[in-house]
Amino acid sequence: MRPYSACGALEHDELAKLEALSRSNCYAQRQQLFAQDEDAHSVYNITSGSVRLYRLLPDGRRQVVGFAIPGDFLGLSLAERTVYGAEALTSVTVCRFDREQFSSFVDEHPQLLRRLYDLANHELSLAQEQMVLIGRRTAEERVICFLVGLRKRWSHINNNSVTVPLPMTRQDIADFLGLTIETVSRAISKLARERALLVVPDGVRLLDVARLEAVAAG
Amino acid sequence: MRPYSACGALEHDELAKLEALSRSNCYAQRQQLFAQDEDAHSVYNITSGSVRLYRLLPDGRRQVVGFAIPGDFLGLSLAERTVYGAEALTSVTVCRFDREQFSSFVDEHPQLLRRLYDLANHELSLAQEQMVLIGRRTAEERVICFLVGLRKRWSHINNNSVTVPLPMTRQDIADFLGLTIETVSRAISKLARERALLVVPDGVRLLDVARLEAVAAG
DNA sequence: CGTTGAGTTGACCATCGTCAACAGGAGTGG
DNA sequence: CCACTCCTGTTGACGATGGTCAACTCAACG
């Protein structure tokens, strides 16, 4: 795990010190990294695989608040308790840090803290984007935004491919977009019928990228 | 403006230095503090009045991403550009800081930065809460959650009164909850008919707090 | 070859959005 | 003082988007 994109603020030797605090770790598909509302032990950096982040209402309704892919961090809030659960969508490998140790390291490196602060504010902006998506867009628009946005996130990793991996189930997508599984399925089928995309095993291939990105932007 | 709740990390003399950087400022009702996607000049601390924060889609659809009340900060992300607009719902007074100066001050006070970091992560958690609200709750539940949540925020200011000030229009509430003005109006009317609340000028008085809070929690 | 679980599709329906009419206050001007 | 307009909010009738329920396909797996 070299990039440490969140840690660009660190000098080489500081980076080495941080790396010394980390432990590599694996999770099987469907295994939980951590649950909602439990004590937070660790900070995670995903090195391979995908993770879903979700919140539950007491009556069982679920909202997926995000998906983590390689390079993403979890638990950076450094809060004592988790506010969402995290579950492996595929088999997952992570670099894990002890939360207390990581927190102390951060306190000793204000430049890193400043970088994390900017990162958190960027996340906040994305969360607001998601509010607009769920609150003010139609079902088809939500699905398109989801696919286009996910492709953009993968583009750094898979060389800008038009094939978007979808390791999550339709249920996960639905719970992310505030829809039902059937509505997501219908939206994807409609786009496939219109030759805007092609459904492939464990993903979709975007065919009419221009059209899809126009809808996502509009 | 004494509380500086965000600045509890500062010593008395440091607080004084920060205060020296601030300028008091007024805005008339409907006046814009700043627009979406413009250069960010300032950091604001609301001292009186209410502000709506909103994002616009290119086609004019609007999502209100939050309301700011006395004690709240705006522009703390310290990003170069604004990601949402802010408009005064009532006449508003603020303490305004130059963004660059504030940013430098923060860089010289890691303890303050750490406090701001925790604050940003708390905001992020609230944004996720809002995603659950918009994505997975019914119209009536959304309205109830909104009222109960707003009451809680005002409780520090107005001595835990069951009367919730609503300086925003129904349109603002609708755009916050991902609903229409008519649906918000109907939900409030229904709750009033059921004696769960009472509509008063520029607000509502919660009558059956237990019931409302139960719905909001569930 | 049967079972299971994900995904798709269809028929029907409910919630919420749309459109329209109306009520009530605030501001304006005769 | 009384129209008159304007704006916000309320209410009703109707309709569409998306949810519900159910049947079916298909692949994975034992």
Q: Which of A53, A105, A131, A142 to mutate to test the interface with B (most CBs of B within 10 A)?
A: A131
Task: Please indicate, yes or no, whether residues A56 and A145 belong to a single structural domain of this protein.
Answer: no
Cβ–Cβ contact B9 with A under 8 A: no
By residue range, what is the domain housing residue A204?
Answer: 137-217
Q: Which residues, numbered 55 to 94 in chain B, qualify as contacts with chain A under a Cβ-Cβ cut-off of 8 Å? A: 55, 57-59, 61-63, 65, 76-79, 83-84
Q: What is the mean pLDDT of chain B?
A: 94
| Nearest alpha-carbon partner for A208 in A189, A217, A193, A195 | A195
**Sequence-distant (≥ 6) Cβ neighbours of residue A201 within 8 angstroms:** none
> How far apart are alpha carbons A174 and B52 in whole angstroms?
29
| For residue B41, pLDDT beyond 50 | yes
Do residues B19 and B97 make contact, with C-beta atoms less than 8 angstroms apart? no
CB burial class (10 A; 0-12, 13-18, 19+) of residue A98? middle
List the one residue out of A95, A87, A96, A94 whose CA is nearest residue A29.
Answer: A87
Same domain, A13 and A105: yes
Q: Determine phi and psi for A126, rounding to 5 degrees.
A: -65, -35
Q: Total structural domains in chain B?
A: 2
> A31-69 pLDDT, tens per residue?
999 999 999 999 999 999 999 999 999 988 999 999 999
Predicted local distance difference test score (pLDDT) of residue B218: 84
| Chain A nearest C-alpha distance from B214 (Å) | 11
User: What average pLDDT does the structure give for chain A?
Assistant: 94
Q: How far is the CA of A182 from the C1' of C11 (A)?
A: 14
Alpha-helical (H) ranges within chain A are 12-20, 99-107, 110-136, 139-155, 170-177, 181-193, 209-217
Integer CA distances (angstroms), A45 to A16, A61, B100, B102, B120, in order:
16, 28, 32, 31, 20
Residue A2: predicted pLDDT: 42
A107 plus A141 within the same structural domain:
no
B214 touches chain A (CB under 8 A): no
pLDDT at res. B60 = 86
Distance separating alpha carbons of residues A170 and A183, to the nearest angstrom: 10
CATH of the domain at B163: 1.10.10.10
Q: Do A197 and A112 share a structural domain?
A: no
Chain A hits for B118, CB-CB cut-off 8 Å, are 77-79
Predicted confidence band at A187 (pLDDT cuts at 50, 70, 90)? very high
Last residue of a domain, one of B105, B128, B151: B128
Task: Please report, to the nearest 10 degrees, the dihedral formed by the alpha carbons of residues A128, B133, A176, A81 taken in order.
Answer: 80
Optimal mutation site among B103, B109, B119, B121, interface A, most CBs of chain A within 10 A: B121
* Residue of chain A whose Cα is closest to the Cα of B136: A178
A85 and A158 both lie in a single domain? no
A136 CA: distance to closest CA in chain B (Å)? 6
Q: What percent of chain B has pLDDT over 70?
A: 97
Angle, in degrees to the nearest 10, between helices A181-193 and A170-177 = 100
Residue A207 lies in a domain: yes
For the whole model, what pTM was predicted? Answer: 0.95
pLDDT, residue A215, reads: 97
> B4 falls in which pLDDT band (50, 70, 90)?
low
The dihedral through the CA atoms of B117, B121, B124, B126 has a sign that is negative
pLDDT at B2: 42
What CA–CA distance (Å, rounded) separates A165 from A204? 7
Does any domain span residue A128?
A: no
Tell whether A211 is within 8 A of chain B (Cβ).
no
Q: Are residues A10 and A112 in the same domain?
A: yes
Report the residue from A78, A113, A134 with minimal CB separation from B134: A134
Q: Which of A63, A120, A125 sits opposite B132 (nearest CB)?
A: A63
Tell me the CATH number at A61: 2.60.120.10
Residue of chain B whose Cα is closest to the Cα of A133: B63
- Mean per-residue pLDDT, B67-80: 96
C-alpha distance from residue A121 to each of A10, A95, A112, A204, B56 (Å): 20, 23, 14, 31, 19
| A98 assigned to some structural domain | yes
Asked if residue A138 has pLDDT above 80, the reply is yes
> Which nucleotides on strand D sit less than 7 A from a protein beta carbon?
8-13, 17-22
Bases in strand C with any atom closer than 7 Å to a protein CB: 6-11, 15-20
Looking at the fold, whether B16 and B105 belong to one and the same domain comes out as: yes
pLDDT classification of B21: cutoffs 50, 70, 90: very high
Residues B69-86, mean pLDDT to the nearest whole number? 97
Q: Which of B99, B128, B157 is the last residue of a domain?
A: B128
A138 touches chain B (CB under 8 A): no
Name the residue of chain B whose CA is nearest to A66's CA. Answer: B128
A112, A141: one domain: no
Tell me which of A4-13, A88-97, B98-107, B135-144 is least confident: A4-13
Closest residue by Cα to residue B203 from B167, B173, B156: B167
**Domain for residue A125, yes or no?**
no
Say if residue B147 is in the same domain as residue B110.
no
Task: Say yes or no to pLDDT of B128 above 70.
Answer: yes
What is the predicted pLDDT for the residue at A1?
Answer: 37
Chain A residue closest to B61 (CA)?
A: A136
Specify the residue for token string 């219109």.
Answer: A194
Same domain? For B108 and B163 the reply is: no
Of A114, A127, A136, the CB nearest to B178: A136
Structural domain ending residue among the three candidates B128, B146, B166:
B128
Percent of chain A with pLDDT over 70: 97
